[in-house]
Amino acid sequence: MDQGVKYTYQNASQLTLDNINTTGLTEEDLIRWLDREVRQPDVSQLQMQAWLVRMVSYLQTEKGFTLPQLVRGRFALVPGLLNELDRLRNLAVVEGFQQQLPSMTVADPHEVPYCAFRFDAGVYPASNVYRGSYHFTKHYYGAHLIHDLPERTATGKLKEEFLCAQAIDTCPQVKHWIRNIPKQEKSSFWLPTSTDYFYPDFVAELIDGRLLVIEYKGADRWSDDDSKEKRLIGRKWQDESQGKCLFLMAREKDDFGRDVAGQISEKVKTI
């Protein structure tokens, strides 16, 4: 009996992405990597990342690819994305390239600003101010001038954002903090997204002088495209701050089982 090694021809188109080695990249890592590979001179980084968030989501929800498949096949994915960008550009001969990229009109022409915030006395147009029983000790404008922070739900359960505020207030590394106010460009902290401005929930100054910005997301919104884009923008802002700013998108429990207090503690240890 012939015991020799046998082989046969297999068309490359039949190979699956599962045959490519595992890398360990997360979805955010994949989008940032793709952003570097498909960068276009006429599309800002924020716009491109927002488009890639939607493309990666589409490939998973509509085309059935898993994240490990996309990560393993990322080198093969790049030419397809470049072809799609070329197709959109060709379609935009009359209408303009930006209009062909869904939800990618930037309200502000600049990229992510660096540390565009400072704590100022008397500049805090709060409304629906806090009336809960817990006494916050580190809110910059005092415990009775906290913008829109309900303590409990209609059923009497403590609200998740209230618990996040408690975790910030009791963090030993926090000097003071504010409940950020949306749609107040002149007095609040904001970052530009692909469509408008992003106002994170909380801004804190640490004892060592670093700025910590926290956005809280419930489990129902953690994985949606909006949250993915905001995490990318916050991470870019943090990376460009040269260790002076930190961004955390917090949730009830992270992948390591840490509660919000634990997530904050871990974040402020990093530089």
20-36 confidence digits (pLDDT tens): 435 577 888 888 889 88
- Can you say whether the dihedral through the CA atoms of 223, 115, 186, 159 is positive or negative? positive
Structural domain ending residue among the three candidates 100, 134, 164? 100
Contacts of 249 (CB under 8 A, 6+ apart): 214, 215, 216, 217, 227, 230, 231, 234
Tell whether 1 is covered by a domain. Answer: no
pLDDT of residue 97: 45
72-104: buried (b, 16+ CB within 10 Å) or exposed (e) per residue? bbbeebeeebeeebeebbeeeeeeebeeebeeb
Tell whether 63 is covered by a domain. Answer: yes
Q: How confident is the model at residue 257 (pLDDT cuts 50, 70, 90)?
A: very high
Q: Domain total for the chain?
A: 2
Tell me, yes or no, whether 50 and 147 share the same domain: no
Structural domain ending residue among the three candidates 100, 134, 158? 100
Which among 263, 192, 266, 203 is positioned nearest to 232, based on CA atoms?
Answer: 192
Tell me, yes or no, whether 165 and 258 share the same domain: yes
105-145 confidence digits (pLDDT tens): 333 434 555 555 777 777 899 999 999 999 999 999 998 89
Structural domain ending residue among the three candidates 70, 100, 130? 100
Tell me, yes or no, whether 50 and 163 share the same domain: no
Whole-Å CA distances, 184 to 126, 178, 188, 199:
10, 14, 5, 9
Tell me, yes or no, whether 143 and 95 share the same domain: no
Tell me, yes or no, whether 96 and 138 share the same domain: no
Tell me, yes or no, whether 75 and 171 share the same domain: no
Tell me, yes or no, whether 129 and 218 share the same domain: yes
Tell me, yes or no, whether 58 and 136 share the same domain: no
Tell me, yes or no, whether 197 and 267 share the same domain: yes
Q: What is the pTM of this model?
A: 0.67
Round to whole Å and give the CA distance between 200 and 192.
Answer: 11
Tell me, yes or no, whether 56 and 188 share the same domain: no
User: Which residue range(s) make up the domain with 66?
Assistant: 16-100
Round to whole Å and give the CA distance between 97 and 180.
Answer: 35
